[in-house]
């Protein structure tokens, strides 16, 4: 059973990255060229962001090299991801429930990354019982406690809000409740493991160390083991549900909202337009297909349905 437990861990991590890659690739390959929202200011406009300007205000902009402030785009992305800025600004009541949940998730994710770095430091010769590791142990203990509490409280608040908010209730499905409950259970098991183990950091470090070294030894805390099993399930489950916005948000929100690369500068966009023009139009409206036959968009775009027909 111990070996199976670790095999599930490997499968969960590999499955998450593989399914995330497949989902991103499928989206990129199948999504058409989106219509610009024209929402200004655009973060990557640099100094023009201050007044909501655009590179298109420059005379003959299409003849000049385009300069993109990537740092501005990164800051906007991080502000939204880390602080849910848009939700805070436009729906503060939802933010009050949603942000604690996300903050708890970020704390646990950040703690996991720190534990992985600590294991690599141990591989490089750092004393696993030294002062620095003691500091990391205290830090991970705080991350686990705060993260679990925030995830539990935020998850329960989100469940309650979906039940009482008429706007959310209209679009809520059983899957939404199930997803939130799984995270709540994940947080509860982590909290119990934190309370019953002498060192949460030692448990986490031992598990990560065993994964890297193929050392299949049982973990000494049952609740931590259950906590990890639920975590394995979440890794597989997240990419298959709407929770995939964890890694899809850039493509489905930021890129669509602020993706303003002109066709002039993008060979990829040019090809997407060519491909889109080849799609068949089967509308029966007279101004589209007056002869009742299927046409491509390029046929529609280059013909005049009101023009007299040759006899």
> What are 1-29's pLDDT values in tens digits?
899 999 999 999 999 999 999 999 999 88
Cβ(200)–Cβ(144) below 8 Å: yes
Whether 224 shows a pLDDT value over 90: the answer reads yes
Contacts by residues 17-26 (CB-CB < 8 Å, ≥ 24 positions apart): 19/236, 19/239, 19/240, 20/239, 20/244, 20/247, 23/239, 23/244, 23/247, 23/248, 24/247, 24/248, 24/251
pLDDT tens across 234-285, in order? 999 999 998 888 889 888 888 888 888 888 788 888 888 888 888 888 777 7
pLDDT tens across 23-72, in order? 999 998 888 787 777 678 889 998 888 888 888 888 898 888 888 899 99
- Residue range 94-123: mean pLDDT, rounded: 95
Helices 2-30 and 200-213 pack at an angle, to 10 degrees, of 80
- Residue range 58-87: mean pLDDT, rounded: 89
Identify the pLDDT of residue 91.
Answer: 92
- Residue range 131-152: mean pLDDT, rounded: 95
Fold of 2-33+84-258: Fumarate Reductase Cytochrome B subunit (1.20.950)
The per-residue pLDDT of the chain, averaged, comes to 90
* Number of DSSP helices (H) and strands (E) in the chain, helices first: 13, 2
pLDDT tens across 177-204, in order? 999 999 999 999 999 999 999 999 999 9
- Strands 280-281 and 295-296, by their bridges, are antiparallel
Confidence of residue 155 (pLDDT cuts 50, 70, 90): very high
Identify the pLDDT of residue 32.
Answer: 79
Identify the pLDDT of residue 133.
Answer: 92
Ranking 85-94, 108-117, 243-252, 302-311 by mean pLDDT, the lowest is: 302-311
Residues making up the chain, counted from first to last: 311
Ranking 45-59, 147-161, 297-311 by mean pLDDT, the lowest is: 297-311
Q: Other CB atoms closer than 10 Å to residue 152's CB: what's the count? A: 21
* Sequence ranges of the chain with CATH classification 1.20.950.20: 2-33+84-258
Tell which wins on pLDDT, 175 or 260.
175
3-class DSSP assignment, residue 281: strand
Confidence of residue 309 (pLDDT cuts 50, 70, 90): low
Identify the pLDDT of residue 63.
Answer: 86
Identify the pLDDT of residue 122.
Answer: 92
Identify the pLDDT of residue 285.
Answer: 72
3-class DSSP assignment, residue 309: coil
Query: What percent of the chain lies above the pLDDT cut of 70?
Result: 95
Tell which wins on pLDDT, 100 or 245.
100
Ranking 89-93, 113-117, 229-233, 274-278 by mean pLDDT, the lowest is: 274-278
Cβ(231)–Cβ(186) below 8 Å: yes
Confidence of residue 310 (pLDDT cuts 50, 70, 90): low
pTM: 0.86
Identify the pLDDT of residue 293.
Answer: 67
Identify the pLDDT of residue 290.
Answer: 58
How far, in Å, CA of 129 to CA of 135, rounded?
Answer: 10
Whether 292 shows a pLDDT value over 80: the answer reads no
């Amino acid at each position: 059973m111990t070996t199976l437990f670790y095999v599930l861990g490997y499968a969960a991590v590999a499955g998450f990255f593989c399914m995330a890659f497949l989902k991103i690739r499928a989206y990129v390959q199948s999504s058409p060229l989106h219509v610009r929202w024209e929402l200004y200011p655009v973060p990557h406009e640099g100094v023009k962001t201050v007044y909501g300007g655009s590179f298109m205000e420059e005379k003959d902009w299409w003849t000049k090299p385009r300069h993109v402030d990537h740092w501005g785009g990164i800051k906007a992305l991080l502000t939204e991801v880390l602080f849910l800025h848009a939700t805070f600004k436009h729906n503060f009541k939802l933010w009050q429930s949603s942000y604690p949940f996300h903050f708890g998730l970020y704390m646990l994710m950040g703690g996991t990354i720190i534990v992985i770095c600590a294991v690599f430091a141990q591989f490089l010769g750092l004393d696993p019982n030294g002062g620095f590791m003691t500091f990391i142990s205290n830090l991970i203990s705080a991350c686990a406690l705060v993260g679990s509490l925030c995830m539990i409280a935020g998850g329960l608040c989100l469940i309650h809000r979906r039940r009482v908010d008429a706007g959310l209730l209209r679009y809520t499905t059983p899957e939404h409740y199930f997803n939130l409950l799984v995270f709540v259970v994940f947080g509860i098991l982590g909290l119990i493991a934190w309370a019953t183990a002498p060192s949460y950091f030692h448990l986490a470090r031992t598990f990560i160390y065993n994964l890297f070294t193929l050392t299949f030894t049982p973990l000494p805390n049952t609740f931590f083991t259950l906590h990890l099993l639920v975590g394995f399930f979440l890794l597989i489950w997240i990419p298959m549900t709407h929770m995939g916005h964890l890694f899809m948000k850039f493509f489905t929100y930021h890129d669509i909202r602020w993706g303003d690369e002109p066709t002039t500068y993008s060979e990829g966009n040019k090809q997407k337009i060519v491909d889109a023009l080849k799609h068949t139009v089967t509308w029966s409206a007279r101004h589209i297909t007056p002869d009742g036959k299927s046409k491509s968009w390029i046929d529609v775009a280059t013909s005049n349905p009101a023009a007299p027909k040759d006899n």
